[in-house]
Amino acid sequence: MPTPRLRFAPSPTGYLHVGGARTALFNWLYARRHGGQFLLRVEDTDKARSTEESTRAIFEGLQWLGLDWDEEVVYQGANVARHRADAERLVADGHAYRCFCTPAEIEERRKHAEATEGAFKYDRRCDRLPADEVARRVAAGVPSVVRFRVPDVQSTGWNDLVHGAISFPHKDIEDFVILRSDGTPIYNLAVTSDDIAMHITLVMRGDDHISNTPKQIMLYRALGADLPQFAHLPMIHGTDGKKLSKRHGATAVADWQHEGILPQTMVNFLALLGWSPGGEFNEVMTIEELVAKFDADGLLKKASVFDTKKLEWMNGQHLGRMPLDELGPLVARKIAADGGATEHELLARPAWFHALLELLRVRSRTVDDIVRQARPYLGATVTYDAQAAAKAWKEPAEARGLVADARVALAACTPWEPAAIEPALKAVAEARGVGTGKLFGPMRVALTGEANSPGMFDVLGILGRDVALARLDAALVELDRRIGAS
RNA sequence: GGCGGUAUCGUCUAGAGGCCUAGGACACAGCCCUCUCAAGGCUGCGACACGGGUUCGAAUCCCGUUACCGCUACCA
């Protein structure tokens, strides 16, 4: 068996959508798993809607996900000459014929048919035109399209890799147009012609293409080409069960990238939408594990809903597992954009930065969560969250006493290390007759401005002696102000 | 309307005739841990769309119904 060749064929009319990304991913996984090729074809024949930015956005999306493609990108628009030649060949071979009916006429007949008996189907009137009449009209320059002549009786079917046997009776398929009157190809022809030219062996795409498949199979046969295998993937829906669209919020992979979702999370999450390795398995997987496990048997038939809650959970899992060397630069870039520190400052003291990341990533679900939580550890001063202060400093005088005692005890800690700090603070709490929680609450707000943070000893360690003491002093000033104001 | 596809907890899924009193994960609730928040651990809530068959036995096979989705263009 030859090595499989698959392709992802987006039309560049928007950003890389999660549905498209999933289709690309499955094609890529299959190719990588079986040592085949994964090709890219840009279906830009709809020049009205196709844009260059869009093409670039799709490439960037794929690159971000790590879906690398083989060979040169194929631009469908560059192949119209072949598409046209294929259409002409089909006419010459008697598989297709010229149709002179105008769009307006067809529309009128369609309306009439729908009003009277229901379904409209082209009645093949132009197929009955005598050869000399066709020649005369062509010579006279009468515009015409090329229609494929669907063989009478029988049906066309295939063994779909995900759905099993599917077939369509020919009586339900009209003689479809394959070449427009301006000489440009219609989708089904272009796709088939290109897939043949690219030697695609497995066409894996969304199941919204199921009803195009019999037409394409007829084209393969009429063109004398071998059939590829087909696999039709289920759709991805929004929470309301409808096809994913803008109104569901973030649907472009770039949107998630900006929200702080990791590419490995996106790949992992998308892989599990419409595919399952079967049996019991750990859902959090690396891209390498996915490649190793991926196969067509695990492809599912049912449309799935894109659950952002689970996506975020999974991102937290990946955040917690990835190497700090990899996470560091990612977070540094976003912190720089946030204005907390420059990338250089952060990367200049890796041990400290990594320790901070270690403390924050366990409480984060996105890269942006880490950035937000890192703020108190970056600036010189801290702003007190109103709610946090209202709660932890509810009794300013009492809080002041606690913070002041802690300040004194801490100042005496010679090696600024947990071994010295822990007993010192515990002694303060004991002397004051309170639990450590009662002491750490006011301290936490003094040091971070927030109600929540990593453990007190970790916070002190990250801040360092000088900053910690300075913040306690600043808090004492603030507390004095509050005592005076009450 | 016609044709095609799909149908297990709210969501993602396991399940390929007896292993199912239907398993796991997310979400949700509670408990534990605990200086807060997370993380982690434990417990709970919660599904085979419906109706007929086939079979000793069906979530699993067949038929019908219903619901949902897709296609039905000189769009892709």
- How many structural domains comprise chain A? 3
Strand B within 7 A of A94 CB = no
Q: Contact A189/A178 with Cβ under 8 angstroms? A: yes
- For A426-435, write each residue's pLDDT tens digit: 999 999 999 9
Q: Answer with the one of A233, A263, A282 that is the final residue of a domain.
A: A233
For residue A380, the model assigns a pLDDT of 85
Query: Which token pair is A231?
Result: 């696999």
| Judgement on whether residues A95 and A220 belong to the same structural domain of the protein | yes
What are the DSSP calls for A71-126, one per residue?
A: SPPEEGGGGHHHHHHHHHHHHHTTSEEEE---HHHHHHHHHHHHHHTS------GG
**Residue whose entry in the numeric block shows the structure tokens 């093409």:** A55
| Judgement on whether residues A365 and A413 belong to the same structural domain of the protein | no
For residue A64, the model assigns a pLDDT of 97
Query: Which token pair is A97?
Result: 């014929």
| Judgement on whether residues A85 and A215 belong to the same structural domain of the protein | yes
| Judgement on whether residues A92 and A208 belong to the same structural domain of the protein | yes
**Residue whose entry in the numeric block shows the structure tokens 């969250």:** A385
Strand B within 7 A of A221 CB = no
SS3 A432: helix
Average pLDDT rounded to a whole number, residues A333-341: 94
Q: Answer with the one of A187, A218, A233 that is the final residue of a domain.
A: A233
Query: Residue A299 gets which letter from DSSP?
Result: B
The dihedral formed by the CA atoms of A303, A45, A177 and A196, expressed in degrees to the nearest 10? -80
The contacts of residue A298 (CB under 8 Å, 6+ apart) are A275, A276, A277, A278
- What is the β-pairing status of strands A96-99 and A145-148? antiparallel
* Ramachandran assignment for A396, one of left (phi > 0), alpha (psi -120 to 50 degrees), beta (any other): alpha
CATH number at residue A413: 1.10.10.350
Instruction: Determine the Cα–Cα distance for residues A437 and A407; give it in Å rounded to an integer.
Output: 16
Q: Does A176 map to a domain?
A: yes
| Judgement on whether residues A364 and A419 belong to the same structural domain of the protein | no
Q: Does A99 map to a domain?
A: yes
Q: Contact A386/A393 with Cβ under 8 angstroms? A: no
For residue A484, the model assigns a pLDDT of 86
Chain A 314..373 CB hits on strand B (< 7 A):
316-317, 320, 362-364
For all residues of chain A together, what is the average pLDDT? 94
Indicate if A301 belongs to the active site: no
Q: Does A241 map to a domain?
A: no
Q: Contact A264/A286 with Cβ under 8 angstroms? A: yes
| Judgement on whether residues A195 and A330 belong to the same structural domain of the protein | no
| Judgement on whether residues A343 and A417 belong to the same structural domain of the protein | no
| Judgement on whether residues A154 and A227 belong to the same structural domain of the protein | yes
| Judgement on whether residues A199 and A154 belong to the same structural domain of the protein | yes
Residue A147 backbone phi and psi in degrees, to 5: -110, 140
Instruction: Determine the Cα–Cα distance for residues A452 and A405; give it in Å rounded to an integer.
Output: 22
- Quick check: A1 pLDDT over 80? no
Average pLDDT rounded to a whole number, residues A374-399: 94
Instruction: Determine the Cα–Cα distance for residues A203 and A283; give it in Å rounded to an integer.
Output: 27
E-strand stretches of A253-393: 304-305
- Please report which confidence band the pLDDT of residue A401 belongs to, taking 50, 70 and 90 as the band edges: very high
Strand B within 7 A of A46 CB = yes
- For A47-62, write each residue's pLDDT tens digit: 777 889 999 999 999 9
- Please report which confidence band the pLDDT of residue A113 belongs to, taking 50, 70 and 90 as the band edges: confident
For residue A247, the model assigns a pLDDT of 67
Query: Alpha-carbon torsion A76, A79, A80, A83, what sign?
Result: negative
Of the candidates A298, A159, A302, the one whose C-alpha atom is nearest the C-alpha of residue A230 is A159
Question: Tell me, in Å, how far CA of A457 is from C1' of B53?
Answer: 70
- Please report which confidence band the pLDDT of residue A457 belongs to, taking 50, 70 and 90 as the band edges: very high
Instruction: Determine the Cα–Cα distance for residues A166 and A231; give it in Å rounded to an integer.
Output: 11
Instruction: Determine the Cα–Cα distance for residues A4 and A2; give it in Å rounded to an integer.
Output: 6
SS3 A215: helix
SS3 A322: coil
- Closest nt by CA–C1' to A313: B26
- Closest nt by CA–C1' to A178: B74
Question: Could you give the percent of chain A with pLDDT greater than 90?
Answer: 87
Q: Does A212 map to a domain?
A: yes
- For A211-257, write each residue's pLDDT tens digit: 999 999 999 999 999 999 999 999 999 877 777 766 677 789 999 99
- Please report which confidence band the pLDDT of residue A474 belongs to, taking 50, 70 and 90 as the band edges: very high
- The domain of A416 spans 386-485
* Cα A209 to the center of its chain, rounded Å: 21
Q: Does A186 map to a domain?
A: yes
| Judgement on whether residues A84 and A227 belong to the same structural domain of the protein | yes
Q: Does A182 map to a domain?
A: yes
Q: Contact A96/A178 with Cβ under 8 angstroms? A: yes
Strand B within 7 A of A110 CB = yes
- Quick check: A120 pLDDT over 90? no
Residue A153 backbone phi and psi in degrees, to 5: 45, -170
For residue A116, the model assigns a pLDDT of 78
Q: Does A344 map to a domain?
A: yes
Q: Answer with the one of A233, A266, A281 that is the final residue of a domain.
A: A233
Per-residue CA distances from A415 to A296, A312, A351, A411 (Å): 60, 40, 18, 10
Strand B within 7 A of A143 CB = yes
Q: For A221, what's the count of Cα atoms within 13 Å in the CB-facing half-sphere?
A: 14
- For A124-133, write each residue's pLDDT tens digit: 999 999 999 9
Instruction: Determine the Cα–Cα distance for residues A341 and A377; give it in Å rounded to an integer.
Output: 10
Q: Contact A316/A268 with Cβ under 8 angstroms? A: no
Question: Tell me, in Å, how far CA of A1 is from C1' of B71?
Answer: 33
Q: Contact A271/A25 with Cβ under 8 angstroms? A: yes
| Judgement on whether residues A105 and A195 belong to the same structural domain of the protein | yes
Chain A 400..439 CB hits on strand B (< 7 A):
435-437
| Judgement on whether residues A443 and A361 belong to the same structural domain of the protein | no
Exposure string over A394-416, b if 16+ CB within 10 A, otherwise e: eebeebbebbbbbbebbeebeeb
Query: Which token pair is A449?
Result: 């401005």
Average pLDDT rounded to a whole number, residues A293-304: 95
Strand B within 7 A of A297 CB = yes
- What is the β-pairing status of strands A177-179 and A164-169? unpaired
Nucleotides of B under 7 A from a protein CB: 1-8, 10-16, 23-27, 35-40, 68-76
- Closest nt by CA–C1' to A182: B74
Q: Does A424 map to a domain?
A: yes
- What is the β-pairing status of strands A37-42 and A5-8? parallel
CATH number at residue A142: 3.40.50.620
Q: Catalytic one among A171, A243, A246, A426?
A: A246
- For A132-187, write each residue's pLDDT tens digit: 999 999 999 999 999 999 998 789 999 999 999 999 999 999 999 999 999 999 99
**Helix ranges, A176-307 (H):** 187-197, 213-222, 253-258, 263-271, 287-293
Instruction: Determine the Cα–Cα distance for residues A245 and A20; give it in Å rounded to an integer.
Output: 12
